[in-house]
Structure 1
Amino acid sequence: MAALARPRDGRMIGGVCAALAQRFGTSAGTMRVIFLVSCLLPGPQFLVYLALWMLFPEERSSSASTTW
């Protein structure tokens, strides 16, 4: 099972849709369309997006970095 992390590449705003797309094996564009269509329904979709943006950690860089 892949960990949910906001990717550094392929994001438009916060990377939440890209992270969910990676997790569920779909394209980020499809996930964005699903989110936009869901915004037409009543509910707190935008607040959920903001909460996920804060909860999902940012993906670590793939290059080997040295820590001090």
Structure 2
Amino acid sequence: MYSQGTKGISRIKSRIRELVAWADREICMEPDEFALHRGWTVTRTGFGARCYRDPRFDQLKVGPRVPEEVS
């Protein structure tokens, strides 16, 4: 009888995880498609949160160092 209760709780937890994952995908579907279409990387950072990065930023070069003015 006790194990039947834990199976039920396990199923409920599993169902909640599925619903949260579904909601997360629904919330972020359009921005994710926009980013992936442009070749950006998408990193999930939490529920409904993403970090989008354009890999072209990795190609930027730092300009020459300008000496500081001495007064």
Give the TM bin, normalised by the shorter chain.
Answer: under 0.3
More helix by share: 2
**TM norm structure 2:** 0.24
**TM norm structure 1:** 0.25
